[in-house]
Copies of this chain bind each other. A is one copy, B any other.
Amino acid sequence: MRRLFDDELNDLDTGFTELGMLVSEAIGKAVTAFVNHDRTVAQAVIDNDHQINDREVSLEKKSFEMIALYQPVTTDLREIVTILKAVSDLERMGDYARSVAQSTIRVKGNKRVAVIEQHISEMGRIVQQMVADVLDAYVKDDDQRARQIALVDARAGDYYQLIYRESIDQMRQDPEVVVGSTDYMAVAQFLKRIGDYVTNICEWIVYLQTGKIVELNPRNTTDTPTDE
């Protein structure tokens, strides 16, 4: 029974990491497609999103079944509950990657602003690295690293504020960039939200290792800049 449980827990764990890699890939592709104005890649991100959703549901089901069948306690239970909660975070990160891709599809020869696109590209790299790092910290049960990753979220927040201000300035100067600039603001917000979900997963890693529910960035969900 214990052997079987260990095997299934191992499978669940692998499934979680694989879902994370799918999401990380979707985010990377979505940002690259947006910056390169590549609607083909963007469409592929949208088309693949159902795989992420399907895997989330399947991992949720598996978690429920294991809790019901094996009635695990202490660290085993904690590991399953962590996956049960964190798969939703991964799935929502995938949703935001799809939203970035949708913004790319919507662009129809709008006037673009190179400097803002550069900043979006940089912000995208930071966020994608956060996703890669949190998966690695999860695999290595490294709660110290998880705490450090959550701190990087502040940098994503700084980029969000920068892109927001640049977009506002552009829109004030030139009515032709209004539609494009609202997309810049939206994409920056999607990326910021992905960073917030990474922080959530960091909190789950800390919980997994310590049994303590912590809030690593208490104000990490601010959507609107505090000033212009």
Contacts and interface: CB of A to CB of B under 8 A. Distances in A.
- Per assembly, the copies of the chain total 2
A155 interface: no
A151 interface: no
Interface residues of A, number: 49
A88 to B, nearest CB: 7
A186 B221 CA distance: 14
Contacts of A185: 182
State the majority secondary structure of interface residues on A. Answer: helix
Interface string A203-223: 000000000010100100111
A224 B53 contact: no
B99 A213 contact: no
A175 B171 CA distance: 7
A60 interface: yes
Contacts of A74: 68
Given A85-B85, A185-B182, A106 B227 contact: yes
Interface in A123-149: none
A228 B88 CA distance: 30
Contacts of A227: 106
Contacts of A5: none
A186 B95 CA distance: 18
A113 interface: no
A24 interface: no
A183 interface: yes
12 contacts: A61-B213, A84-B85, A98-B221, A102-B226, A106-B224, A106-B226, A106-B228, A168-B178, A171-B182, A178-B178, A183-B224, A186-B224
Interface of A: 53, 57, 60-61, 64, 67-68, 71, 73-74, 77-78, 81, 84-85, 88, 92, 95-96, 98-99, 102-103, 106, 167-168, 171-173, 175, 178-179, 182-183, 185-186, 189-190, 213, 215, 218, 221-228
